[in-house]
Structure 1
Amino acid sequence: MQKTIYISPIMDTFIDSYLKNKNFSNQTHYFLGHFKSATKYRILLKFDLSSLPKNCNIINAKLTLFCIRNDYMEQENTFSIHPITKNWNYKNVNYLNQPKYDKSRKIQTKINCHLWEPISWDITEYAREWLKNPRKNFGIMIKAENEKDKASLLGLCSQRHNNKDWRPKLEITFTIKEKREIYLKPIPKIAIVTPQFFEWDGNRCLFGGGERYLIDLAKLLQKLGYEVDVFQPSIYEEWERIYKGIKIKGIGNPGFHQDFFIRLNKMFYQITKNYDYHIYFNMDVTYPHVFPNSICISHGIWWDSSERQWWRSKLWYSRLFQSINAVDLLVSVDTNTINWLNAVNPNLKCKKVYIPNYVDLETFKPSKTEPINKKYIKILYPRRLHPGRGWTVCKNVAVELVNEYDNIIFSFAGRGDKQSEKHMKIFASKHPRIEYTWYEMNEMYKAYKDADIVLIPSLYSEGTSLSLLEGMACGKPIIAGLVGGLTDLIIHGYNGYLIEINKENLKNAIIKLINNPELRKDMGKNARKISEHFSKKIWEERWKKIILQQFPIN
């Protein structure tokens, strides 16, 4: 099995022939070369290879330094690396007491116009010797090959530079000798923690996009050969449920504080230590503890409104960045989240990958035949009953439109909490041609069957909506909010409209489509074409690649 690791130096500094007695171990940079044919600069580095397996075979060892200054770019200069042969201390070393080095052995690289880019040396032979005999690892000295009559000056970033990506590093690729014994390893176990699948009393599932995503991901993991358990908050008492072959456990009070499920996180950390791998289904369940080699899923930015006063506070930022920084891999369903993280905190260590949401193209597809002499134009809101999803503004627009147009039906198809569902039933009963229903996960395709226009009027807290993708796959024109990951899916005027959601904008966009059946038809065809790039099969292949890399099964 081949692996690659990156090692930082345990000692690093440079020495100066002009300031012979001075130690430079606290500098954020090194100088290297021969300045004006007078001052010599040399770099001293030492790397500890004890983190490598003793039985490994080093294939390649590449030393990389980042160049931020080059005074003689018009000429080619050669720089050599020599093995140091005596002990030294980076805190007190200077030009006068510098350690001895082996002049007969050297690894060279040629530098000319390098600037604001990394410089590399292949020091594989040295690394192999250090691994074989750590006692002979005294580090390396880097110097200009010609220190007598040729000027050459470089500035390079040290271990103390603010930009972590520019610090010196030793990249080692190695293989591990595999044991010949054949044995069967137990099925690897994956623990997933989520803020909610069932309501916290364990009696009801909300059947939203997030819940469907969780089940589809768990099913994929099982198909790949993993055992999967899901953990979520519970109230009153702990409970255990089975949903479509997935075990879901309620493990107690969530300890919610300013967006983060702190007690849930701590309980998950305690009771799943014997699991092989861990997935944090939302970013808000990652604080304060994160398992090594874990995956976190971002379903979109949820703090892009003024709904809660603590959003974007100093404490909130601190918790978010601490937890995300501890995650090994962040899978984001949209580009919006990745762009925001890169802009606000570019030094986050976690790897980021974009895997957009998906749709089952065999289940969600256009009707084979169009209804003849259809009496009504049906406008569908296939979302959870939540203000952030645009539910409230949709209701207001629905009331006005059914009063102004006698040829439309407004359909709300989605679940909410018990109060919201009760309200929606009463609301629909009071307004002719406004209807309310909801579907089980495996029957959601029925909602789109006779719809003519699909609304995804999110105000905030949105990724790449499953409902939007389902509507597109069914060949429906979409009206969507200009928010979150929806901009990854809609090309304004091609497969739908992207608008800033308010009552006037939403109403006007709907009226345009009501009055233009050909536009509805063209947008619907385009929507289906785009949806084919977000198929469930593509999503599964992307996830499969990530899972097998991140969570080795053998």
Structure 2
Amino acid sequence: MSKVGILTHSFADAYNGRLDRIFGGGLERYIFNLCGVIREMGAEPEVHQLSFQGDFDRAVEGIRVKGYACTHSVRETFGRMSREAEGRLIYSSQMWTMLDYRPGSLGICHGINWDEPRIDGAPKEAVRQAIQHALSELTMIVTVDSHFLTYCRSACRYDDREKVRLIPNAVDTDIFAPAGERANYGELRVLFPRRISVERGIVPMMLAADRLLDAYPQAVIEFAGETIGGDPLCEAFRIWLDRHPEQDRLLHRVYPFGQVAEAYRRADIAVIPSVFSEGTSYACLEALSCGIPVVASQVGGLNDLILNGYNGLLVHPGEQELADAIGRLIEDADLRLRMGARARETALAFGEDEWRAKWRAVLTTFLAHTHAAV
């Protein structure tokens, strides 16, 4: 059986030393789903990832995962992965870094992560050069949203228009389905289904939560996302939760992949307030599929999913606009219902069957050219 190596910075939870589980982020879920498609094609996937826990080699959810101690630069560590991985290679992250790609390999861009306005021009030019290098060296780059495609067309030079292939992220609309009538006992639940990190907008969300809890006594706010042990922002988040005067209306829970739909079914409003580095958000798609109106920031792939005033509200990624938009939905039950119905309709256009079919088409060609592998 032929092998396909997927190279990435994260899959097993090396952040928290929990190598027996997959870290609960969108990148990791994408890789897990892609491994399923690779197996459907008759090949065996293996994941190769950066590790700050030293080298490791183990099975996680039935997938062989090898960790490579990142004792040198990312480029050097990815170079070691490329040399040691067997079979064809898919580079599933770090495209913004100048890497030494194995000839005949694929790349995946999960969203632009250099769209922070405060980053100076020189680092952004270095990213452009790294992307140009990837376009020159890789057989194809799959992008999960239209923004990377537009970036490549506007900032880079390449002759083959098929070099960058758009395959938007998808959602299982059977698993993520509306809950029907909810017994909420007078509460109204606002869900933040994201990792606790700067780019995912945790700071404006915490500040907005302060305003909302003060203004709406029926509001309960749930944070459903991973934390990283030792991270200063995650520690500040925990302190904020523990010492908040309304802590009985603040919840934090980390859901395994198979249980995350429960969080959406209990929610009335979902909030995706990313500040930068956002692709076609799984969390946004899942909320839409469950028939929940979404308040989202005007960042990255969220603009591909939310039509302002139709299936949700788009806002500038700041706490005041965020709190105002959430408050508008809290106060207007009819608006929540109308947007929720349209949200479900939107999600049906992003079903997993089409995503799998598009990836099978890419992999059919990719796996047929085994002579290109080293």
Q: TM-score, normalised by structure 1?
A: 0.62
Runs of at least 5 residues in structure 2 that lack an aligned partner in the other structure: none
Code of the aligned partner of 2:110: H
The residue that corresponds to 2:108 in the other structure is 297
The residue that corresponds to 1:53 in the other structure is none
The residue that corresponds to 2:253 in the other structure is 437
Structure 2 counterpart SS, 1:231 = strand
- Structure 1 residues 286 and 223, CA, compared in 2 at 3 Å: closer, same or farther? farther
Once the two structures are TM-superposed, the CA of residue 368 in structure 1 deviates from its matched residue by: 3.1
C-alpha distance in 2 between matches for 1:285 and 1:269:
17
Per-residue Cα deviation, 1:261-313 (whole angstroms, up to 9, x for no partner): 201221022112xx331100014377331122211111110000145557645
Query: Is residue 286 of structure 2 the alignment partner of residue 470 of structure 1?
Result: yes
C-alpha distance in 2 between matches for 1:435 and 1:299:
29
Once the two structures are TM-superposed, the CA of residue 315 in structure 1 deviates from its matched residue by: 3.7
Query: Is residue 44 of structure 2 the alignment partner of residue 227 of structure 1?
Result: yes
Code of the aligned partner of 2:101: V
Query: Is residue 210 of structure 2 the alignment partner of residue 393 of structure 1?
Result: no
Query: Is residue 3 of structure 2 the alignment partner of residue 192 of structure 1?
Result: no
Query: Is residue 214 of structure 2 the alignment partner of residue 403 of structure 1?
Result: yes
Q: How many residues matched?
A: 361
Structure 2 counterpart SS, 1:551 = helix
C-alpha distance in 2 between matches for 1:277 and 1:354:
21
Structure 2 counterpart SS, 1:263 = helix
- Greater relative contact order: 1 or 2 (C-alpha under 8 angstroms, separation 6 or more)? 2
| Structure with a larger share of its residues in helix | 2
Per-residue Cα deviation, 1:309-358 (whole angstroms, up to 9, x for no partner): 57645444323311232111110000011001101114365711111111
Structure 2 counterpart SS, 1:331 = strand
Counterpart contact for 1:286–1:323, Cα < 8 Å: no
Counterpart contact for 1:264–1:285, Cα < 8 Å: no
Per-residue Cα deviation, 1:164-198 (whole angstroms, up to 9, x for no partner): xxxxxxxxxxxxxxxxxxxxxxx111011001113
Counterpart contact for 1:513–1:520, Cα < 8 Å: yes
Code of the aligned partner of 1:370: R
The residue that corresponds to 2:366 in the other structure is 550
Counterpart contact for 1:396–1:503, Cα < 8 Å: yes
- Structure 1 residues 254 and 229, CA, compared in 2 at 3 Å: closer, same or farther? farther
The residue that corresponds to 2:348 in the other structure is 532
User: Identity, % of aligned pairs?
Assistant: 29
Counterpart contact for 1:289–1:323, Cα < 8 Å: no
Give matches, 1:148-297, under 5 Å: 187-200=1-14, 202-204=17-19, 205-235=22-52, 237-253=54-70, 255-256=72-73, 261-272=74-85, 275-284=86-95, 287-297=98-108
C-alpha distance in 2 between matches for 1:316 and 1:308:
11
Runs of at least 5 residues in structure 1 that lack an aligned partner in the other structure: 1-186
Counterpart contact for 2:75–2:98, Cα < 8 Å: yes
C-alpha distance in 2 between matches for 1:426 and 1:524:
34
| Structure with a larger share of its residues in strand | 1
Structure 1 counterpart SS, 2:158 = coil
The residue that corresponds to 1:424 in the other structure is 237
Structure 1 counterpart SS, 2:51 = coil
- Structure 1 residues 398 and 348, CA, compared in 2 at 3 Å: closer, same or farther? farther
Per-residue Cα deviation, 1:483-506 (whole angstroms, up to 9, x for no partner): 111111111111001111111111
Counterpart contact for 2:128–2:156, Cα < 8 Å: no
Q: TM-score, normalised by structure 2?
A: 0.91
- Structure 1 residues 426 and 190, CA, compared in 2 at 3 Å: closer, same or farther? same
Code of the aligned partner of 1:411: E
Structure whose alpha-carbon radius of gyration is higher: 1
Query: Is residue 186 of structure 2 the alignment partner of residue 370 of structure 1?
Result: no
Q: CA RMSD in A?
A: 2.1
The residue that corresponds to 2:325 in the other structure is 509
- Structure 1 residues 313 and 305, CA, compared in 2 at 3 Å: closer, same or farther? closer
* Structure 1 residue runs of 4 or more that deviate by more than 4 Å after TM superposition: 306-311
Code of the aligned partner of 1:499: V
- Structure 1 residues 255 and 310, CA, compared in 2 at 3 Å: closer, same or farther? farther
The residue that corresponds to 1:495 in the other structure is 311
